[in-house]
Amino acid sequence: MMITDLWLTRHGESIGNVAATAAERDGLDVIALEERDADVPLSITGAEQARAFGSWLGENGARIGTAWVSPYLRAQQTLSLAMDESGMALVPLTDERLRDRELGVLDLLTRRGVERLHPGEAERRARLGKYYHRPPGGESWVDVRLRLRSFLADALPAADGGGLVVAHDAVVMLIVSLLTAMNESELLEFAAANTVLNASVTHVRRGGTGWELVAFSDVSHLRQEGADVTVHPGSPDVQPE
């Protein structure tokens, strides 16, 4: 038994996405958000996107035998609303290894805030690069890849046919990089050119020579259902690429 098709979905727009984008736009140091990261809910737009994802799930659910979801509220809400919309009765499995990247002392800081309040970390990040930089108390991309390697080792042999993961932009990007065997430079180049959109669907398929990327960040179901397409880059990093 082995999963041969894996669909990866980012959660719908969250109130954290909205607050982070507003803080960056307004040149603030700190993102105005009271909830801890695990408890950040969907925005009204995010709930609409989740229901639009449900239309995709209704059309493609027969190909999905197992679903996994991040423990974070925004991902849980996305899948719950989508399943309600689609009428799908699949029981998803919550896996903490699918949580969003942890930023440690840089949590809730904008890029400007990091440069002003933690200039040493900004310099260290510039020297190490996004792939290896680990904020104090947080994770690097390599750290997240390690826990996702563990998840994939458990998940892929656990079912046959198709699987669905509902999680976060970094999780989607890094699972794609793992399955398609991207190295550091390939991953950073790909990430700089591609954004994992809210409630988008990414599809990877296992063939005779390995995994291939079939579709990345597809939002045709959102446009079909009249839901907004939102571009939020996720948790702000120390500086732009």
Predicted pLDDT at 159 = 76
Give the least confident one: 61-65, 122-126, 224-228: 61-65
Predicted pLDDT at 48 = 98
Tens digits of residue pLDDT in 197-230: 999 999 999 988 899 999 999 999 999 999 999 9
Q: How confident is the model at residue 237 (pLDDT cuts 50, 70, 90)?
A: low
Q: How confident is the model at residue 41 (pLDDT cuts 50, 70, 90)?
A: very high
Predicted pLDDT at 161 = 82
Tens digits of residue pLDDT in 48-60: 999 999 999 999 9
Whether pTM exceeds 0.85: yes
Given phi > 0 = left and psi -120 to 50 = alpha, else beta, which region is 176?
A: alpha
* The pLDDT of residue 234 is above 90: no
Tens digits of residue pLDDT in 109-122: 999 999 999 999 99
Predicted pLDDT at 208 = 82
Predicted pLDDT at 2 = 83
Tens digits of residue pLDDT in 73-122: 999 999 999 999 998 888 899 999 999 999 999 999 999 999 999 999 99
- Identify whether the C-beta of residue 92 lies closer than 8 Å to the C-beta of residue 84: no
DSSP for 53-118?
HHHHHHHHGGGEEEEEE-SSHHHHHHHHHHHHHHT-----EE-GGGSPPPBGGGTTB-HHHHHHH-
Q: How far apart are CA 185 and CA 71, in angstroms?
A: 30
Helix (H/G/I), strand (E/B), else coil: 144: helix
pLDDT cut 90: percent of the chain above it: 86
